[in-house]
Amino acid sequence: MKLSSKAIVSNSDITKNYKACREKAETFGTIFILKNNQPDAVLFSITEYERLSSLIEYMESLDEKDVEKVIECLPKEGNRNRYLIQDLRDDLK
C-alpha cells in the first residue's frame, strides 16, 4: 500500500483541526493518525467506509473455496488496485 505523507496527521492535529482532517479523509479516502510518531488510528471517509463495508459483507457471504479464489486474484506485491465487488464476482466466474 502506498501511503501519501499528506494522508498522515498527528493525534494533536486531529484534536485541534478535526474539520481539516475530515476533509483530508474525503480527499484521500483514508488518513492515518500518529501518536508519538507511531500509528494510532485510521479515519475513513464515509465513501471509503461504505466501500469497505460492502466488500466485507460480500466476502463474508462467500464459502471458503471462493474466498481462496479471491485472495489468489489479489496482487502479492506492488501497487494494489481498488477492487469493485463486480470485479471480484467476475474473477470468480
Structurally, the chain folds into a number of domains equal to: 2
User: Please, are residues 83 and 55 in contact by the beta-carbon 8 Å criterion?
Assistant: yes
User: How confident is the model at residue 19, as a pLDDT?
Assistant: 95
Q: Say which CATH number the domain at 22 has.
A: 3.40.1620
User: Please, are residues 34 and 28 in contact by the beta-carbon 8 Å criterion?
Assistant: no
In the block, cell 466501500 appears at 51
Residues 9 and 24 occupy one common structural domain? yes
Question: pLDDT for 9-42, tens place per residue?
Answer: 999 999 999 999 999 999 998 999 999 989 899 9
Question: pLDDT for 34-45, tens place per residue?
Answer: 999 898 999 999
Three cell numbers, residue 35: 501518536
Three cell numbers, residue 72: 489468489
pTM for the whole structure: 0.63
Residues 40 and 74 occupy one common structural domain? no
Highest averaged pLDDT of the listed ranges 15-19, 56-60, 66-70: 15-19
Residues 52 and 38 occupy one common structural domain? no
**Among 40, 59, 56, residue whose Cα is nearest residue 48:** 56
> What domain range is 20 assigned to?
5-44
Residues 56 and 30 occupy one common structural domain? no
pLDDT band at 86 (very low <50, low <70, confident <90, very high): low
